Amino acid sequence: MYKKTLSPGVFVDGAIHWLARSRKPGSPSVIAAFSLAHEVFVEIPAPRGVDVHMFVFKKLLVLGGCLCLINARENDPMDVWTMKEYGLGESWTKFSIDYEWDLVKPLCLMGDEEVVLVTHFRKLFVYNRREGTFRDMVATLRLLHLHGDPCLPCSHGPKSG
């Protein structure tokens, strides 16, 4: 099956997903999934042309209820690949965030255009994908450590009142 996992698991569409390395020598890393309903392991197709074991920083996460692959190399923008239709390799779409990739992590979506990011410095800001701009959020995290990944989609901004 798999020799080791390369990322923490994320839950999407009834299955737990992670980046894993196959036991077969010379085999590429894969996006593995375990279906809780059917109790079987399956492999999810990676975005076309992306070798998931050739990157310094790689991570799976969930944004807007979709499986996402963070794909980055030093001195390059961070690519966020989103699988729009679960299980269909052709449905991967990409947007890039031109920021120091090791300092930010996408947390959730606000509508179709904006992504909430958290920095290692515990600051939140919003990246507008269409305009390629950043803006600070009012909140700052005063926690010593920030752990965990969101499990529920965050597709709408905060509600007032």
- Average pLDDT for residues 78-97, to the nearest whole number? 90
Comparing 70-74, 75-79, 138-142, the range with the smallest average pLDDT is 138-142
For 4-28, give one letter per residue: b (16+ CB within 10 A) or e: eebbebbebbebebbbbbbeeeeee
Of 49 and 141, the one with more pLDDT: 49
* Cα 57 → chain centroid: 11
Domain spans, the chain:
2-103
The structure's pTM equals: 0.71
Residue 122, pLDDT above cutoff 70: yes
